[in-house]
Amino acid sequence: MMISLDQISVKQIKGVSAPKEQELHAFGVQSVADLLDYFPYRYEDYRIRNLADAKDGEKVTVLGYIRGVPLLQRYGKGKSRLTCKIEIDGWLVTAVWFNRHYLQEQLTVGREVMLTGKWEQHRLQLTVSDSEFQGGSSESSGTGAGGKSAKSGTLQPVYSVGGSITQPWMRKTIRQALTQYETMIEEVLPHELVQRHQLMARREAVRHIHLPEDAKEGQAARRRLVYEELFLFQLKLQAYRALNRKRSDGLALRVESEWIRQFAATLPFELTDAQKKVVNEILMDMRRPSSMNRLLQGDVGSGKTVVAAMALYGAVRAGHQGALMVPTEILADQHMRSLQKLFGGMGIEVGLLTGSLTERKRRDVLAGLQMGIIDIAVGTHALIQGDVFFRSLGLVVTDEQHRFGVNQRSVLRRKGMNPDVLTMTATPIPRTLAITAFGDMDVSTLRERPHGRKPIKTYWVKHDMMDRVLEFIRKEVDQGRQAYIICPLIEESEKLDVQNAIDLHIQMQQAFPQYKVALLHGRLSAADKEAVMGAFGANETQVLVATTVVEVGVDVPNSTLMVIMDAERFGLSQLHQLRGRVGRGEHQSHCILVADPKSETGRERMKVMTDTDDGFEVARRDLELRGPGDFFGTKQSGLPEFRLADMVADYEMLEEARDDAGELTGQDDFWTNPSYARLRALLQKDQIFQGEQLD
């Protein structure tokens, strides 16, 4: 077998002495492969720019002509200050060199120079860190022979260094390693993936990430290597999961595609392609004898509920029961009604199980579930706990907020059930990010929204524009639409929230005497909430003043206006959720954020909301604003640390890599085909596979 670069010690590289080799170990670098994979974390930009474009205090590289006689001041002990007038892009600039007196003789009038340094515009001064003289040598030891130094006009890699390993040494050594070993760098990715994503070959990418000709090339190299890193990471997770899947302790539901097609035909709309794809993914899981653990993520309004309904329908027709678990009673109620509507005339019995049932009613439902008279139970968390028993629970769907954890699974297992589980969420990050990273779930995504939906127009106004906001509400309602007005959020005081809502309700009633203005808050009884939502859903009330109880899942397609008071008090994902209550029908919808944010992040949040109504983009920017540390609690997160990839910026690539890895490990011949031997060998090296049977 051919020797590979990870078997060659860095000692073999010209210029690496024994002490240097020892020091490199501290950076995790032992082999030539390690060194070549020691990527720069940024570049220094030595590309020539126009001084007019440079900001004060910025580091720039410029071209100029010497126009004055150099002036040298010495301070003793080899300290000196050398100055000279240079014409740069039409300005006469004072260039300053510290402790480089030997350059004096190079500074002859009329000569062309390339200078890199810190630009101080107010003084017209450039403090030089690097200089190169036309028709002569460069101050730094370059490639010699009258040529330019390695730096001229390029991007220079910056490595993490320390001790006696200096930046120039590292640059030189990696360059040398490339010279000696570049041709031995081998491709690790399967050919079809390189093609699919139009990636650079590994050999090229390694060269260009260290020595990019230009920014574009550097980026292409980085893209290739980021993909590789994410793909290999995902491959491990998925290969592990694929092995687990071979266990079979769940129910294999015999759901026929024909049933699902028939059901889809009863819907008043055509499913989107995304919905079809996701339904298929779910059905495939349900048919397997291992239990499904799938996350369905989709932006608000992307049509997750109907997907869930189809899965539940499949479970019931296959002879089992389903449960739909939601965080609030309002939602349980709403879902109950929409399922009854969807399943109308199909002979499917849907039961509601919430905390506010009378004891008698509750007993009936429990009996119904145990005997299998009720096919689908909708309710809150209590659904799967305590004294609730199903005849044969095949599928649990959980909507928003809850994540179906290991605990709940074991509760069910103890009851002798091991149903398929589908978790739905409208907030892709941070949860999904973590999930994607940990890979404990399969993920389906609805990115597309139903056809004909118009983007929600979002505005940010100050409080002093409230009159115009009221005017806007009036206009919408006069056209037959409905509006939500969300009260400010008072941190940690539900009581104050309620008081706020009551006050705002009174104000709105006064502002709109001609309309019915309703009030919804958390202190209302379940029956009252239901009545309020029912009336709003039926357009008996036109304006709904509410606290954040309407945040999740409420679906009234005729409402087209969402006004959020003191919007800066809400987090981005909450704002996006609230906004998602509108834009659910064919009419143009609007969201108005009323806010006078005092903080920079407050303003930034308003800006994100007005910039985009794509939940994935909102989530990404939210993560950017807060940083992953905030989301996950820095160190405890257990998130993997990538060499190159950035969980936030490279999120989409992470998803692609995950899909590719899933596809590959799902292929039977992945475990046997010789062309994947390299990848399998990589897996075999990994700890989690030790003791597993790979082939």
User: Under 8 Å CB-to-CB from 207, ≥6 apart: which residues?
Assistant: 178, 182, 221
Which helix H or strand E contains 34, and what residues bound it? helix 32-36
Residue-wise DSSP of 152-164: TTSEEEE---BTT
Q: Which does 269 bind (CB under 5 to 8 A by kind): Mg ion, ligand ADP, none?
A: ligand ADP
CB 57 within 8 A of CB 42: no
Strands 457-461, 543-546: pairing is unpaired
Which of 218, 303, 314, 419 contacts ligand ADP by CB under 6 A? 303
| Residues in a beta bridge with 444 | 296
Task: For the sheet with 393-399, list strands across it.
Answer: 350-353, 376-379, 321-325, 393-399, 420-425, 293-298, 442-446
Q: CB neighbours (10 Å) of residue 25?
A: 11
Choices 146-154, 177-185, 297-305, 492-500; region in contact with ligand ADP by CB under 6 A:
297-305
Q: Which does 271 bind (CB under 5 to 8 A by kind): Mg ion, ligand ADP, none?
A: ligand ADP
Strands 376-379, 321-325: pairing is parallel
Query: Would you give the end-to-end CA distance of the chain in angstroms?
Result: 21
Query: Hey, which residues between 286 and 305 contact Mg ion (CB under 5 A)?
Result: 305
**Rounded to whole angstroms, how far apart are CA atoms 665 and 233?**
13
Choices 304-312, 495-503, 611-619, 669-677; region in contact with ligand ADP by CB under 6 A:
304-312
Q: How far is the CB of 593 from ligand ADP (least distance, A)?
A: 20
Choices 29-37, 99-107, 298-306, 373-381; region in contact with ligand ADP by CB under 6 A:
298-306
Q: How many residues bind ligand ADP (CB under 6 A)?
A: 17
Which of 250, 298, 553, 615 contacts Mg ion by CB under 5 A? 553
**Rounded to whole angstroms, how far apart are CA atoms 431 and 487?**
27
Which of 212, 394, 450, 597 contacts ligand ADP by CB under 6 A? 450
Q: How far is the CB of 587 from ligand ADP (least distance, A)?
A: 13
Under the binding rule (CB under 6 A), the answer on residue 184 touching ligand ADP is no
Closest CB to ligand ADP among 30 and 539? 539
Under the binding rule (CB under 6 A), the answer on residue 342 touching ligand ADP is no
List the x/- string, 545-584, binding to ligand ADP by CB under 6 A. ----------x-x--------------------------x
Q: Which does 496 bind (CB under 5 to 8 A by kind): Mg ion, ligand ADP, none?
A: none
Q: Which does 120 bind (CB under 5 to 8 A by kind): Mg ion, ligand ADP, none?
A: none
Q: How far is the CB of 166 from ligand ADP (least distance, A)?
A: 55
Q: How far is the CB of 118 from Mg ion (least distance, A)?
A: 55
CB 91 within 8 A of CB 51: yes
**Closest Cα partner for 655 from 692, 608, 695, 619?**
619
Q: How far is the CB of 335 from Mg ion (least distance, A)?
A: 8
Choices 217-225, 334-342, 549-557, 662-670; region in contact with Mg ion by CB under 5 A:
549-557
Local structure of 277: helix, strand or coil:
helix
CB 486 within 8 A of CB 550: yes
Q: H helices of 512-614, where?
A: 526-537, 572-579, 600-611
Q: How far is the CB of 530 from Mg ion (least distance, A)?
A: 18
Q: Which does 300 bind (CB under 5 to 8 A by kind): Mg ion, ligand ADP, none?
A: ligand ADP
Under the binding rule (CB under 6 A), the answer on residue 298 touching ligand ADP is yes
Residue nearest to ligand ADP (CB): 303
Choices 5-13, 258-266, 293-301, 379-387; region in contact with ligand ADP by CB under 6 A:
293-301
Q: How far is the CB of 580 from Mg ion (least distance, A)?
A: 9
691: left (phi over 0), alpha (psi -120 to 50) or beta: left
- In this structure, what token pair is assigned to residue 143? 């490639």
**Rounded to whole angstroms, how far apart are CA atoms 226 and 644?**
6
Which of 117, 301, 394, 628 contacts ligand ADP by CB under 6 A? 301
Closest CB to ligand ADP among 269 and 438? 269
Q: How many residues bind Mg ion (CB under 5 A)?
A: 2
Q: Which does 559 bind (CB under 5 to 8 A by kind): ligand ADP, Mg ion, none?
A: none
Q: Which does 275 bind (CB under 5 to 8 A by kind): ligand ADP, Mg ion, none?
A: ligand ADP
Q: How far is the CB of 551 from ligand ADP (least distance, A)?
A: 12
Closest CB to ligand ADP among 275 and 500? 275
Residue-wise DSSP of 163-195: TTB-HHHHHHHHHHHHHHHGGG----S-HHHHH
Query: Hey, which residues between 412 and 431 contact ligand ADP (CB under 6 A)?
Result: 426
Closest CB to ligand ADP among 288 and 447? 447
**Closest Cα partner for 66 from 45, 46, 83, 49?**
83
Closest CB to Mg ion among 553 and 662? 553
Residue-wise DSSP of 603-644: HHHHHHHHH---HHHHHHHHHHHHHHHHHHTGGGG-PPPPSS
**Rounded to whole angstroms, how far apart are CA atoms 554 and 533?**
9
Residue-wise DSSP of 187-235: --S-HHHHHHTTPPPHHHHHHHHHS-SSHHHHHHHHHHHHHHHHHHHHH
| Residues in a beta bridge with 263 | none
Under the binding rule (CB under 5 A), the answer on residue 488 touching Mg ion is no
Choices 68-76, 148-156, 245-253, 546-554; region in contact with Mg ion by CB under 5 A:
546-554
Query: Hey, which residues between 237 and 276 contact ligand ADP (CB under 6 A)?
Result: 269, 271-272, 275
C-alpha pair distances (Å), 580 with each of 10, 457, 513, 562: 56, 12, 27, 9
**Rounded to whole angstroms, how far apart are CA atoms 397 and 308?**
7
Q: Which does 303 bind (CB under 5 to 8 A by kind): ligand ADP, Mg ion, none?
A: ligand ADP
The residue type of 23 is E
Q: How far is the CB of 520 from ligand ADP (least distance, A)?
A: 18
Under the binding rule (CB under 6 A), the answer on residue 304 touching ligand ADP is yes
**Where does this chain bind ligand ADP (CB under 6 A)?**
269, 271-272, 275, 298, 300-306, 426, 450, 555, 557, 584
**Where does this chain bind Mg ion (CB under 5 A)?**
305, 553
